Structure 1
């Protein structure tokens, strides 16, 4: 009888998202995608999780890849990788025409959605979401 009571109480405490549950706050859930084109994941969006305890391990990582246009000299967005790896923000020139920008976010779960890049307008993203909602109906 006491085992069933203990089991039921522990299940209720783990299911509740309120202040009584400590374990939910120590887990960070991030998006995982190996090729995000700025609007949708081309390889299938998945999720990954990590413990949100250590300060250097609290981030969701977005790696934006840019290629350099020969004629204008501008770095243009190519694709992004979303992951749960520990993050070191910055930019890195991988090849003479390919640059990687690493962006870290810590504010909430699923904060690395692939839209945090300067080449994509927020109005265009909003239009794509509205179009998707209309097509789903």
Structure 2
């Protein structure tokens, strides 16, 4: 079994709701990973190019790594990890690593 963290609203440091866990079978070469989704909104106030970090979601859903345009002003960046149980702890957020000196 592969155990992963599950949180619908992770602010980059902690879960705003109760942190849970989910699991999946760790047998096949695919669908063994834990998923971290980072959501970014475009900065409509200043009109600058780029996106601002809003929140993350941790889950056991099948993972497809990459950046996806969800809506015209919302981007989802997905990370997959399968090296350890509960490896989706939100530490792969580059902005948090730079600000707080954590490894990302």
Alignment match of 1:101 (pick from 77, 84, 101): 77
Q: Secondary structure at the residue paired with 1:121?
A: helix
The answer as to 2:89 corresponding to 1:113 is yes
Q: Whose RCO is larger (CA < 8 A, sep 6+)?
A: 2
Aligned length: 100
Deviations 1:53-96 (A, max 9, x none): 01111100011101111332121111011001111111111111
Residue 54 of structure 1: aligned partner: 28
Offset, 1:33: 0.3
CA radius of gyration, larger in: 1
Indicate the residue corresponding to 2:51 in structure 1: 75
Structure 2 gap ranges (5+): none
Give TM-score, length-normalised by structure 2.
0.88
Matches within 5 A, 1:1-137: 27-70=1-44, 71-121=47-97, 124=100
Root-mean-square deviation (Å): 1.5
- Partners of 1:115 and 1:68 lie apart in 2 by 22
In 1, Cα distance between the equivalents of 2:101 and 2:22?
Answer: 24
- The TM-score, its normalising length taken from structure 1, stands at 0.68
Q: Any runs of at least 4 consecutive aligned residues in structure 1 with deviations exceeding 2 A, and if so which?
A: none
Gaps of 5+ in 1: 1-26, 127-137
| C-alpha separation in 1, matches of 2:9 and 2:99 | 22
Higher helix share: 1
Structure 1 107/72 Cα, relative in aligned 2: closer, same or farther at 3 Å?
same
